[in-house]
């Protein structure tokens, strides 16, 4: 396999979109040139994904520019597309638009073929969503129509599989229909023996959750990534989970045990990252209560107590203790918790009549 630098290819495509008036035509020429000259096929495959992501951002910026100019687009958009846009476009914008880019004005070419009439901002949004949803990948004249089909074929060739799946994940960010059609590649990618594919699968799930949210069923893969045999996969899973937690897109529930188990991990970097995530999220009462309860209901030891205790507010300690006396079988550790948690006298008086508390024999 011929070595090539991913970053050089990304920088090339980024440069085209930032410094040319018509990046679509420039990218078409680039892709045709690579194909005709029969250069390294891996480069061609990877560039397709880079073009897809950059063109998506380009259309988002173009849409914003049209709205700022108060110009209207004359086109009929199917109702199905309008409804789909309303349900998922808000999360897509949060990921793809970088507000305040001073280079925006350099990369926009307003096409004279667009007919402007008295249409609303909603209709402008529908038009650009239609381009992303149906034109780029599904229109025979679309920018990546032919190339997307080849990418799918290349995923079945061992020598090309890694780069093809990475590019496919990028194309799946463009259109929810394309995502739905090929979402089975998420689980397929995570089952791969190639850690680079598994790692990119984890990162892509984070993007898909931001873009499509309820359409993504493979959330458990993120937590399985925390126990992967490869450190890079585990590290990426941690960072993706943290990003989603900060955005209130992900809830841990009983999966929190995967995160809390890493605070004493053998790998120092993994241990440090997991602890920092917990420290940074500990101000969220629901997060820390869920995390500690799910950890302690399965296993309680002095090391865990010493780590988590400083992160718990009084009310959180009381809530966790109340839940644990009803569910935990480790009565000895519950006694230790009782002594260490320093709970209020009022709380103790409120629960001392409970049979589960009386069994502890601490009062």
pLDDT in tens, 7-16: 888 999 999 9
Q: Where are the domains of the chain?
A: 7-95+117-198
Asked if pLDDT for residue 189 goes beyond 90, the answer is yes
Cα gap 361→343, rounded to integer Å: 16
Closest CA relative to residue 147, chosen from 139, 137, 155, 156: 137
pLDDT in tens, 26-53: 999 988 888 777 667 888 999 999 999 9
Q: Which residue in the block uniquely carries the two structure tokens 């590649």? A: 185
| Nearest-5° Cα angle at 279, 216 to 274 | 55
Q: For residue 333, give Cα distances in angstroms to 78, 296, 349.
A: 62, 10, 21
In the 3-class helix/strand/coil scheme, how is 144-207 assigned residue by residue?
CHHHHHHHHHHCCCHHHHHHHHHHHHHHCCCCHHHHHHHCHHHHHHHCCCCHHHHHHHHHHHHH
Residue 363: CB atoms within 10 Å: 10
φ, ψ for residue 112, nearest 5 deg: -65, -15
Q: Six-digit token pair at 347?
A: 């709380």
Closest CA relative to residue 237, chosen from 269, 266, 198: 198
Contact, 171 vs 137, CB < 8 A?
Answer: yes
Asked if pLDDT for residue 95 goes beyond 80, the answer is no
Asked if pLDDT for residue 91 goes beyond 70, the answer is no
Cα gap 161→296, rounded to integer Å: 42
User: What residues have CB less than 8 Å from 335, skipping those under 6 apart?
Assistant: 360, 361, 362
pLDDT in tens, 250-299: 988 889 999 999 999 999 999 999 999 999 999 999 999 999 999 998 88
pLDDT in tens, 124-159: 788 888 889 989 999 998 999 999 999 999 999 999
Give the pLDDT confidence score for residue 282 in this predicted structure: 94
| Nearest-5° Cα angle at 111, 13 to 102 | 50
Cα gap 250→50, rounded to integer Å: 27
* Residue 108: band (very low, low, confident or very high) from pLDDT cuts 50, 70, 90: very low
**pTM of the predicted model, to two decimals?**
0.82
Mean pLDDT of 79-87: 59
């Amino acid at each position: 396999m011929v070595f090539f630098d991913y970053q050089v290819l990304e920088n090339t495509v980024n440069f085209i979109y930032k410094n040319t008036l018509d990046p679509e035509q420039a990218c078409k020429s680039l892709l045709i040139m690579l194909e005709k000259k029969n250069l390294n096929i891996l480069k061609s495959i990877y560039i397709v994904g880079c073009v897809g992501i950059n063109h998506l951002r380009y259309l988002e910026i173009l849409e914003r520019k049209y709205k700022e100019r108060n110009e209207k687009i004359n086109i009929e958009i199917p109702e199905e597309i309008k409804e789909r846009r309303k349900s998922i476009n808000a999360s897509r914008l949060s990921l793809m638009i970088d507000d305040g880019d001073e280079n925006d004005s350099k990369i926009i070419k307003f096409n004279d073929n667009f007919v402007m009439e008295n249409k609303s901002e909603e209709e402008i949004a529908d038009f650009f969503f239609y381009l992303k949803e149906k034109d780029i990948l599904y229109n025979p004249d679309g920018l990546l129509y032919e190339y997307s089909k080849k990418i799918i074929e290349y995923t079945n060739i061992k020598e090309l599989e890694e780069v093809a799946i990475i590019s496919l994940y990028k194309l799946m960010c463009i259109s929810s229909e394309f995502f739905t059609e090929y979402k089975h590649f998420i689980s397929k990618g995570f089952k791969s023996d190639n850690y680079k594919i598994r790692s990119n699968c984890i990162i892509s799930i984070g993007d898909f959750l931001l873009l499509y949210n309820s359409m993504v069923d493979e959330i458990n893969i993120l937590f399985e990534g925390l126990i992967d045999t490869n450190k890079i996969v585990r590290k990426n899973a941690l960072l993706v989970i943290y990003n989603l937690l900060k955005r209130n897109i992900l809830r841990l529930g009983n999966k929190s045990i995967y995160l809390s188990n890493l605070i004493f991990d053998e790998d120092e970097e993994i241990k440090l990252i997991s602890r920092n995530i917990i420290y940074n999220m500990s101000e969220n009462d629901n997060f820390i209560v869920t995390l500690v309860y799910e950890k302690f209901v399965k296993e309680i030891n002095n090391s865990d107590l010493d780590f988590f205790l400083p992160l718990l507010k009084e009310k959180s300690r009381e809530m966790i203790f109340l839940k644990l006396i009803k569910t935990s079988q480790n009565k000895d550790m519950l006694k230790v918790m009782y002594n260490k948690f320093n709970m209020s006298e009022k709380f103790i008086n409120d629960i001392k009549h409970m049979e589960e508390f009386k069994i502890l024999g601490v009062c």
